[in-house]
Amino acid sequence: MKAIISSIIKANENQMWEELQKVSSLMYVASPILKIKPQKGYSVPDKWNLGNEYRFRVSLFGMIPLGEHFINLVELNNEEKRIVSKEHGTLAKVWNHIIKLNPIDDHTIEYTDEVEIKAGVLTIPIWLIAHIFYRHRQNRWKKLFNS
């Protein structure tokens, strides 16, 4: 199943693009719903790199373990302002994510998260949760640029 969630964000396209490439930004926009930490023995760089698999431990509100999550960036398109990752983990065997930026004007963008989810019998509940989570993330992006 696919979840597609878009928001209008008051941000400069280039500023948003720079933030998207920071690993710390993922951790900020996911909180406080999800706490994402590198697995023991694995470090993450300041910025995402193509071709590397990143290994994380995920917990709900920092208290309920949700297992492992693996992120592999397969596209980091500077011209089209698009990031594509192939992801999987304990709860979802497929979590393929596309982030797209579409400039509306010099200070406004349309930000879209598109996620393909395959999780067996959990697909529909996880798809519903993904809608809530990505709306939360997009609200956190808005907060980041409006603070």
Neighbours of 32 (CB within 10 A): 10
CA-closest candidate to residue 4, choices 93, 114, 125:
114
The Cα–Cα gap between 41 and 91 comes to 22
Q: Which domains does the chain have, with CATH numbers?
A: 2-146 (3.30.530.20)
The Cα–Cα gap between 121 and 118 comes to 9
Tens place of pLDDT for every residue, the chain, 147 residues?
A: 999 999 999 999 999 999 999 999 999 999 999 999 999 988 899 999 998 999 999 999 999 999 999 999 999 999 999 999 999 999 999 999 999 999 999 999 999 999 999 999 999 999 999 999 999 999 999 999 986
Rounded (5°) CA angle 55-9-98: 35
| Residue 91 token pair | 């709860």
pTM of the model: 0.93
